[in-house]
Copies of this chain bind each other. A is one copy, B any other.
């Protein structure tokens, strides 16, 4: 990040020599007083937003019995102007959570977000890589991870809010902001410290340069056809057989040709449910199963063998999301069924290893568990270098809104391919977003509004704020 000698302010990628939130605020106020016309981040607003989804068992799976889809929500507030008119006053971002514990993600986002206060918006926009590295570089907060758990979720929320701010300022959706960057600008987004043994910045640069000539044509194709998707809405574990069958039939009628089923709690149930689904969707549509980490390595292999007759495309989260070698062993044994994981892979170092070990055939990044756009870009580069398709995790609340940007960027500028690539789609809670996803005929249409599609309606933020929003008062 830039230094600003006029204000006596140096906010570098190393932690500034500030002792407390109080010091940061004083410093920010001091700066603002001296340069009132410079657009700066002056405040971070954090909100604990929860939706009482557990009452319907939407989103139920073998590990997550009854989630209340939630968000640790962040608004970066900007004051001042810098020739960017009309001024962009807010950047919205969040990390996805499952109910209890959202307060931890919110507290983490606040602690990380305070590190953003005082930054010039122009500096943030021009060095989103340096800004993201600065956010994560507090050595005391880092101990809580490092680069994982609540503090990483909070970092994701703030980084994503900064991308929303940057894209709104550029009057472009995030995917377009990314896809118009030069290969070097893209490489500079990434923290390479732990990645170079598997992918160097130079190799990434050459890979990105090879895709430059085809960018325009792929952008045209995405704008006209959208990006392919699959649905998980039919197959939640809490649904009974009749509801499962009905929803599968409806999904086919709606044009879906790839359907994912939650599994992993009981093998007999899974065999029965796969049979129901396969009969309804026929032999040619794709069926995926998702065990949500419930199995050990030997059990996962048994599970896949028992379900082999149903022609499973991928077996998702068969075991612990930390078990790189375990996934590699499973992948080796259950081929040609592909092993998919990544929604709980917490950072680029994990993806580096999953890919280098041939442990995954499908790479499932999460836009809010990785530390926001920057680390997601690292994962996209690593996956492309290993020629493994990225099929992002979505659903929850707002994940569809975010990952569409990442996948479209991946297609235009990184992998250059749609082969075996589908974005997860779940039709929950989109009504709460200012710029919700638009899905037609099993494709995400390219978002054209400025920003990251991450902004919720103010009324939603008020109504579902936990525990005092009206929606929660009604539940109580």
**Residue ID in chain B nearest A14 by CB atoms:** B65
CB contacts (< 8 Å) of A153 on chain B: these are 144
Q: Is the CB of A349 within 8 A of B322?
A: yes
Q: Is the CB of A104 within 8 A of B100?
A: no
Q: Is the CB of B194 within 8 A of A140?
A: no
Please choose the segment from A291-299, A304-312, A444-452 that sits at the chain B interface, where 4 or more of its residues have CB less than 8 A away.
A291-299
Residue in B104, B108, B148, B319 whose beta carbon sits within 8 Å of that of A148 in the complex = B148
Q: Is the CB of B324 within 8 A of A325?
A: yes
**Which of A150, A152, A325 has the largest count of B CB atoms less than 10 A from its CB?**
A150
Tell me the bound Cα distance from A325 to B97 in angstroms. 30
Q: Is the CB of A344 within 8 A of B146?
A: yes
Tell me the bound Cα distance from A167 to B222 in angstroms. 64
Q: Is the CB of B144 within 8 A of A149?
A: yes
Those of A298-354 within 8 Å (CB) of chain B: 298, 319-326, 329, 344, 346-347, 349-350, 352-353
**Which of A104, A152, A153, A296 has the largest count of B CB atoms less than 10 A from its CB?**
A104
Residue in B98, B108, B196, B322 whose beta carbon sits within 8 Å of that of A150 in the complex = B108
Residue in B140, B322, B350 whose beta carbon sits within 8 Å of that of A100 in the complex = B140
Q: Is the CB of B150 within 8 A of A325?
A: no
Decide if A357 is an interface residue (CB 8 Å cutoff): yes
Residue in B97, B194, B293, B298 whose beta carbon sits within 8 Å of that of A296 in the complex = B194
CB contacts (< 8 Å) of A97 on chain B: these are 140, 143-144
Tell me the bound Cα distance from A114 to B297 in angstroms. 32
- Count contacts on A: residues with CB < 8 A to the other chain: 62
**Which of A144, A193, A194, A346 has the largest count of B CB atoms less than 10 A from its CB?**
A144
Interface string of A115-146 (1 = CB under 8 A from B): 00000000000000000000000111111111
A325-B139 CB under 8 A given contacts A150-B150, A196-B296: no
Tell me the bound Cα distance from A140 to B50 in angstroms. 12
CB contacts (< 8 Å) of A322 on chain B: these are 147-148, 346-347, 349-350, 353
Decide if A197 is an interface residue (CB 8 Å cutoff): yes
Q: Is the CB of A296 within 8 A of B197?
A: yes
Taking the closest CB of chain B, its distance from the CB of A32, in whole angstroms, is 24
Q: Is the CB of A141 within 8 A of B346?
A: no
**Residue ID in chain B nearest A350 by CB atoms:** B322
CB contacts (< 8 Å) of A149 on chain B: these are 144-145, 148-152, 346
CB contacts (< 8 Å) of A104 on chain B: these are 104, 107-108, 111, 144, 150-151
Decide if A207 is an interface residue (CB 8 Å cutoff): no
Number of copies: 2
Taking the closest CB of chain B, its distance from the CB of A269, in whole angstroms, is 17
Q: Is the CB of A140 within 8 A of B324?
A: no
Q: Is the CB of B101 within 8 A of A144?
A: yes
Taking the closest CB of chain B, its distance from the CB of A19, in whole angstroms, is 8
**Residue ID in chain B nearest A347 by CB atoms:** B322
Decide if A93 is an interface residue (CB 8 Å cutoff): no
**Residue ID in chain B nearest A141 by CB atoms:** B101
Q: Is the CB of B139 within 8 A of A67?
A: yes
Taking the closest CB of chain B, its distance from the CB of A194, in whole angstroms, is 4
**Which of A111, A353, A357 has the largest count of B CB atoms less than 10 A from its CB?**
A353
CB contacts (< 8 Å) of A151 on chain B: these are 101, 104, 149-150
Q: Is the CB of A142 within 8 A of B63?
A: yes
CB contacts (< 8 Å) of A150 on chain B: these are 104, 108, 144, 149-151
Decide if A385 is an interface residue (CB 8 Å cutoff): no
A99-B140 CB under 8 A given contacts A145-B149, A319-B194: yes
Binding site for B on A (CB under 8 A): 15, 63-68, 97-101, 103-105, 107-108, 111, 138-153, 192-197, 293, 296-298, 319-326, 329, 344, 346-347, 349-350, 352-353, 356-357
Besides A98-B139, A194-B319, 10 other CB < 8 A contacts? A66-B139, A66-B140, A67-B143, A104-B107, A104-B111, A147-B322, A149-B149, A195-B296, A197-B297, A324-B324
